[in-house]
A and B are shown apart, each in its own frame.
Chain A
Amino acid sequence: MTTLLETHNLIKHFRDVDAVNGIDLALPAGCCFGLLGPNGAGKTTTVELLEGIQEPTSGLIRYRGEPLGPRFRQDIGIMFQSTALQDYVTGRENLRMFGSFYRRTLPVAELVEACALGEFLDRDTRKLSGGQRQRLLLAIALVNDPELIFLDEPTTGLDPQARRNFWELIHRIKARGKTILLTTHYMEEAYHLCDEIAIMDHGRIIAQGAPRELLAAHFDDVVLQLPLADFPNPAPPLALTVMRGRDAVEILTRDVNAAIRELLAWNISLARLQIRPRTLEDLFLELTGRELRA
């Protein structure tokens, strides 16, 4: 698969902070690539370097094998987490304005269809709901029919229904063979949408690969979940890894049958037992730690 965007030893230092510490990335054409990490991990700086918004302290960024230049600007679409649009201007007028910046553009009707803008296309952008605003910003990101699309936490602040609808839009973009770089705090979103993910912390990539492959590489156990009320306190001396949470107890095991036998031996009720596989969230917490980040 052709590599569309790649970096080599990308470094960005601010006065007091080493935000990006030598990142090597390669985005294959047609791939949806997820960049995950806790707050302050360096995701936003990395993405802004890749977008050409910021200049790296050192290192290389190449688009189709060349340094970022005018062609890159023409070929990319960007949706920031929060972008203000001009007040008193409608969605259609915004699409026209952004469309005029590019040599190649998609017809407004196609964008309206792709992002479901029909009901509010001619409405003042001040009067849009959160979900409508995100759909319009996605349409603006797609106005030049970009090869590479940056989506920075596109569903933050949306309700679950709006988020699911947005995922459907991203699936449609993927189906058109576009390359997507997605940052998100929602592990479920990354799992559903991304072909490949990279987890960042302290300005470095600490894990990278396809979500299923990463999970398989890091975990060979499953999680047994019991409501906290169903678990004895104090806990019996089980030969299992037990993690007590606020509402539930999680038991990690490679052998579900053996674990269940042991729990039954201690007369623990399994009526409300749930068994789930390991998730990206487990991986994320395992790799980045569970302490609070600013």
Chain B
Amino acid sequence: MNFQRFWAVFVCRNWEFLRDRSTLTWNLLFPISLIAGFAVAFSGPGLALYKVGVLGDAASGGGDAFFKTRYVQFIPFVDLPAALPKVERHQLDMLVDPVGRRYWINEESPKGYVLERVLRGADAPATFDKQTVSGQVIRYVDWIAPGILAMNMMFSCLFGVGYVIVRYRKSGMLKRLKATPLTPLEFLSAQVVSRLWLILATTALVFAGTDWFIGFPMHGSYLALGLVFLVGAISLISLGLIVAARTNSEEVAAGLLNALSWPMTFLSGVWFSLEGVHPVLQQCAQLAPLTHIIDAARAIMIDGADLAAISGHLLVLTMMSIGFMAVGAWRFRWE
């Protein structure tokens, strides 16, 4: 390993990334706008989960407790023929006529079923004693932010290394480098380290930027979070190297990278919790580095977990990094 050769490739790769304004801007603005969008969408008194059409006015329901149910949006309708098709097409979960004491639901609608249970039982005397939990309020955006940061990192790692190396190979640049004393180890190390610091820097900027106007809970240590993102980025870059090791078609590379990234996005709990998902899928999710990055980041940011608490995730990510890197380096061909 010659450090001078490594450094020269590292520097040029950095210039290539930093001077490509459109790529740089996309890497910074995309996650910020995504998180900001969620913050706006899920801000306010609370998201209405159900939509109920009311013939006439909800006030005409008098003292019906049903019309005081939270998280239900009541939408007035004058005309029954106009309102009924909306129930048929799932645009309304229920339609209620408070004067005629009638309601309509679509039998195929799960939300309609729940609302029917609420409507029928809303005035019934309580048979259970209510208990409440206390603690810091976690907004949906607080829960989703670590996932979006990690997801952005994943796309940047996979496509930023995997796709770029395939492009170099296809354009003949790797063939030219092969004819020099540069070794595959020096070349790959430069690509990995260059992408690594750029990703960590952009992730830190995105984190700081979104935290500035949204305000994340951060109950753990920044050092631990940085370590999770560091090891996580190495594992994802190494995964990208496997795709880039021999492929010389950008179309094939894009297909492979999408085949890796989208299932990971859905299975790793970026958008929703995996609780209740089929156990096989939960096991599959454990094979994805993104799952461990998100779980560890959420544990640190929301629960204040320390390094010991997330050591299992760190260990798995480290093992994955070593395995992916070894396979990628073993399979790598200049041409």
Given the known inter-chain contacts A82-B172, A97-B9, A100-B7, please indicate yes or no for A87 contacting B20, CB distance below 8 A.
yes
Contacts of A88 in B (CB 8 A): 15-16, 19-20
Q: A93-128: contact bitstring with B at CB < 8 Å (1 yes, 0 no)?
A: 110111111100000000000000000000010000
Taking a contact as CB atoms under 8 Å apart, the answer to whether B12 and A97 are in contact is yes
Give the residue name and chain of the A residue nearest to B179 (CB): A78
Give the residue name and chain of the B residue nearest to A150 (CB): B179
- Docked CA distance A73–B180 (Å): 6
Say yes or no for B171: interface residue by CB 8 A criterion.
yes
Taking a contact as CB atoms under 8 Å apart, the answer to whether B8 and A100 are in contact is yes
Chain A residues within 8 Å of B, Cβ to Cβ = 51-53, 70, 73-74, 76, 78, 80, 82-89, 93-94, 96-102, 124
Contacts of B9 in A (CB 8 A): 97
Give the residue name and chain of the A residue nearest to B168 (CB): A84
Taking a contact as CB atoms under 8 Å apart, the answer to whether A84 and B171 are in contact is yes
Sort A-B residue pairs by CB-CB distance and give the 10 closest, nearest first. A84-B171, A100-B8, A88-B19, A97-B8, A101-B180, A73-B181, A78-B179, A83-B176, A84-B173, A88-B16
Contacts of A87 in B (CB 8 A): 16, 20
Contacts of A82 in B (CB 8 A): 172
Contacts of A124 in B (CB 8 A): 19
Contacts of B284 in A (CB 8 A): none
Q: Which of B12, B175, B182 is the one whose CB lies under 8 Å from A80?
A: B175
What is the minimal beta-carbon distance from A180 to any residue of chain B, in angstroms? Answer: 16
Task: List B1-50 residues whose CB lies under 8 Å from chain A.
Answer: 4-5, 7-9, 11-13, 15-16, 19-20
Chain B residues within 8 Å of A, Cβ to Cβ = 4-5, 7-9, 11-13, 15-16, 19-20, 168, 171-173, 175-176, 178-182, 335
- Docked CA distance A189–B311 (Å): 67
Q: Which of B5, B13, B16 is the one whose CB lies under 8 Å from A100?
A: B5
Taking a contact as CB atoms under 8 Å apart, the answer to whether B180 and A98 are in contact is yes
What is the minimal beta-carbon distance from B23 to any residue of chain A, in angstroms? Answer: 10
- Docked CA distance A73–B175 (Å): 13
- Docked CA distance A87–B17 (Å): 9
Given the known inter-chain contacts A86-B13, A97-B9, A100-B4, please indicate yes or no for A53 contacting B179, CB distance below 8 A.
yes
Taking a contact as CB atoms under 8 Å apart, the answer to whether B172 and A83 are in contact is yes
Taking a contact as CB atoms under 8 Å apart, the answer to whether B175 and A89 are in contact is no
- Docked CA distance A94–B180 (Å): 13
Give the residue name and chain of the A residue nearest to B7 (CB): A100
Taking a contact as CB atoms under 8 Å apart, the answer to whether A76 and B12 are in contact is no
Q: Of B4, B9, B20, B181, which is in contact with the most chain A CB atoms at under 10 Å from its CB?
A: B181
- Docked CA distance A84–B11 (Å): 18
What is the minimal beta-carbon distance from B7 to any residue of chain A, in angstroms? Answer: 7
Give the residue name and chain of the A residue nearest to B173 (CB): A84
Give the residue name and chain of the A residue nearest to B8 (CB): A100
Taking a contact as CB atoms under 8 Å apart, the answer to whether B179 and A76 are in contact is yes
Give the residue name and chain of the B residue nearest to A102 (CB): B181
Contacts of B5 in A (CB 8 A): 100-101
Give the residue name and chain of the A residue nearest to B182 (CB): A101
Taking a contact as CB atoms under 8 Å apart, the answer to whether A86 and B8 are in contact is no
- Docked CA distance A98–B4 (Å): 11
Contacts of A102 in B (CB 8 A): 180-181
Can you pick out 12 interface pairs between chain A and chain B where the beta carbons lie within 8 Å of each other?
A52-B179, A74-B181, A83-B173, A84-B168, A89-B15, A93-B12, A96-B8, A97-B8, A97-B9, A99-B8, A101-B8, A102-B181
Q: A88-B20, A93-B15, A98-B180 are in contact. List 20 more A-B contacts (CB 8 A).
A: A53-B179, A74-B181, A76-B179, A80-B172, A84-B168, A84-B171, A84-B172, A86-B13, A86-B15, A88-B16, A88-B19, A89-B12, A97-B11, A99-B8, A100-B5, A100-B7, A100-B8, A101-B180, A101-B181, A124-B19
Q: Of B4, B12, B171, B172, which is in contact with the most chain A CB atoms at under 10 Å from its CB?
A: B12
What is the minimal beta-carbon distance from B39 to any residue of chain A, in angstroms? Answer: 34
Contacts of B8 in A (CB 8 A): 96-97, 99-101
Contacts of A85 in B (CB 8 A): 173
- Docked CA distance A88–B176 (Å): 18
Contacts of B182 in A (CB 8 A): 101
Q: Which of B15, B179, B335 is the one whose CB lies under 8 Å from A51?
A: B179
Contacts of A84 in B (CB 8 A): 168, 171-173
Taking a contact as CB atoms under 8 Å apart, the answer to whether A70 and B16 are in contact is no
Contacts of B181 in A (CB 8 A): 70, 73-74, 101-102
Q: Of A70, A73, A74, A97, which is in contact with the most chain B CB atoms at under 10 Å from its CB?
A: A97
Contacts of A99 in B (CB 8 A): 8
Contacts of B7 in A (CB 8 A): 100
Contacts of A74 in B (CB 8 A): 181
Give the residue name and chain of the B residue nearest to A84 (CB): B171
- Docked CA distance A291–B104 (Å): 82
Q: Of A70, A74, A80, A124, which is in contact with the most chain B CB atoms at under 10 Å from its CB?
A: A80
What is the minimal beta-carbon distance from A68 to any residue of chain B, in angstroms? Answer: 11
- Docked CA distance A212–B181 (Å): 38
Contacts of A53 in B (CB 8 A): 175, 178-179, 335
- Docked CA distance A100–B177 (Å): 12
Contacts of B13 in A (CB 8 A): 86
Give the residue name and chain of the A residue nearest to B17 (CB): A88
What is the minimal beta-carbon distance from A166 to any residue of chain B, in angstroms? Answer: 19
